[in-house]
């Protein structure tokens, strides 16, 4: 796709009008830039063409200071086990509690498997946040050998 005379030509695979992730670069930064450029020229709101890119637990763990973790699971799931220092706002309450979510860091939405957090990340993006989805959720986090803590402070588990 070539958008304008000054833009870099970029091949962008599409399915149902949405960009497919580049298997060599999970974040598809060039594809995202091309989409944003096209959206600007077509006067389409950028959040409507952006996609969520999942981040893997090991990357989040290593770069923890760069992210704000937002757990969108229900209270009983949170109490059983959550990532230490994550913020807890159940998905059903997120819209009403957006002011509690900090904007200065990338928000990584977390749930049990990645489905609810994917919806949360999409909603956060539409609300102007930079947001990602934790691929595989706390299940993948735990399988990677990364710790969860329970409500009482002991070792946590995924329910």
Active site residues: 111
Residue with tokens 């060599």: 24
Q: Please report which residue ranges of the chain form alpha helices under DSSP H.
A: 29-42, 57-62, 75-80, 91-94, 115-126, 137-143
Beta bridge partners of 67: 106
In this structure, what token pair is assigned to residue 151? 């409500």
Secondary structure (3-state) at 99 = helix
Residue 9 CB contacts under 8 Å (≥ 6 apart), including other chains: 1, 2
d(CA 19, CA 15): 6
- How many CB atoms neighbour CB 5 within 10 A? 5
């Amino acid at each position: 796709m070539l958008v304008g005379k000054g833009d870099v030509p970029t091949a962008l695979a599409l399915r149902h009008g949405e960009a497919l992730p580049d298997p060599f670069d999970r974040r598809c930064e060039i594809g995202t830039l091309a989409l944003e450029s096209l959206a600007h020229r077509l006067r389409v709101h950028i959040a409507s063409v952006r996609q969520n890119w999942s981040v893997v637990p090991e990357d989040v763990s290593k770069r923890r200071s760069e992210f704000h973790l937002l757990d969108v699971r229900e209270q009983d799931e949170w109490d059983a086990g959550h990532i230490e220092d994550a913020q807890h706002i159940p998905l059903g309450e997120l819209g009403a509690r957006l002011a509690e979510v900090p904007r200065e860091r990338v928000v990584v939405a977390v749930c049990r498997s990645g489905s609810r957090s994917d919806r949360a990340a999409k909603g956060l993006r539409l609300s102007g946040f930079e947001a990602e989805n934790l691929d595989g959720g706390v299940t993948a986090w735990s399988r990677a050998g990364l710790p969860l803590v329970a409500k009482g402070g002991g070792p946590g588990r995924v329910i």
